[in-house]
Amino acid sequence: MNTTNPSTILVIDDDPAIRKVLSLGLERIGYQVRLATNGREGFDLLESEDFDPDCILLDIRMPVLTGREALPRIRERRPLIPVVMLTAFNDLATGLEAMKNGAFDYLVKPSRLEQIEETIGRAVRYKRIIREKLEQDRKSEEYRKTLELTMESRTLELNETYEKLKAANMQTVQVLAETIEAKDQYTQGHCERVRKLSVRIASKLGMDKKQIIALEYAALLHDIGKIGIPERILNKKGPLDADEIEVMKMHPLIGAQILSIVEFFAPAINGVRHHHERWDGKGYPDKVAGEDIDPLARRSSRCFSRRSSTRITSEAGMFSAAQNL
């Protein structure tokens, strides 16, 4: 925790005891804390002041304006702020509903301070990465417009700058990929391996440079939605039960939602969303089949299982197939 410039957490909960416990606990570990007693008060605080918290803890059941009602308003007006839902009910459906509506994660009350600290830490890091990338994009766009004024005489400089920007974007994407793997101990190096294999397949299929760049982003970030999956499920020893499998199946949707707030990820969003779809329509989350699967995630009808030999014969992008090599 950077005590010289501490992160700010907005706690929205109607229970004064919960507010006090969270406030004292978070301040003790170095956060600044603002409090609101219901969703309306919290939303008004975001609207009426120059206030940009690094994370919001939002109770689901409150008077005046519930957490369910406040969440979409917050997401619409302040989409970069990660929202962690608080619920007193150990209800998987409640947490999943909140995540489908844009929550970063959820915590079941009461939670240990260590668990709260870990969840908030991930949320704060996520916001920092996204804000830094958006600021980089803003500066890059300003620089690009300046270069366009003298394009004819500075073509070489423009090309060099483009390569630097592309490398910077890829580095940022790799940081996000590493964030995914830091949460899931079973997938270290997986995203980078998928990227390399995908590019090799794409090159063999003759895909153009723009498609390959989008493919690299999709391959590196295909599992970014696992940021929203509880670690008790990601790192569970042994097989998942039926409910846990349904939670895990949410990660393509969560990943697509995360990428939707950054414009340059747009070409990769559906590739991420569809990376668990199957050619026969028995995949998830959308159960689309064949040519309806996004080209970046499309499996060839002749792409066999993980342990068998693999032949690629379609012209589609194949990062999904690369997962099986």
The mean per-residue pLDDT over the stretch 139-146 comes to 79
Could you tell me the domains of the chain? Answer: 8-121 (3.40.50.2300), 170-322 (1.10.3210.10)
Do residues 215 and 207 lie in contact, with contact meaning Cβ atoms separated by under 8 Å?
A: yes
* 98, pLDDT greater than 70: yes
Which pLDDT belongs to residue 51? 84
Higher-confidence residue of 52 and 164: namely: 52
Please report which confidence band the pLDDT of residue 253 belongs to, taking 50, 70 and 90 as the band edges.
very high
Find the range with the poorest average confidence among 55-64, 277-286, 309-318. 309-318
Instruction: Name all contacts of 39-45 with Cβ < 8 Å and 24+ positions apart.
Output: 39/12, 39/64, 39/65, 39/66, 39/67, 39/69, 39/70, 39/73, 40/64, 40/65, 40/70, 41/12, 42/10, 42/12, 42/70, 42/74, 43/70, 43/73, 43/74, 43/77, 45/10
Range among 99-108, 145-154, 313-322 with highest mean pLDDT value: 99-108
**Alpha carbons 162 and 86: distance in angstroms, whole number:** 44
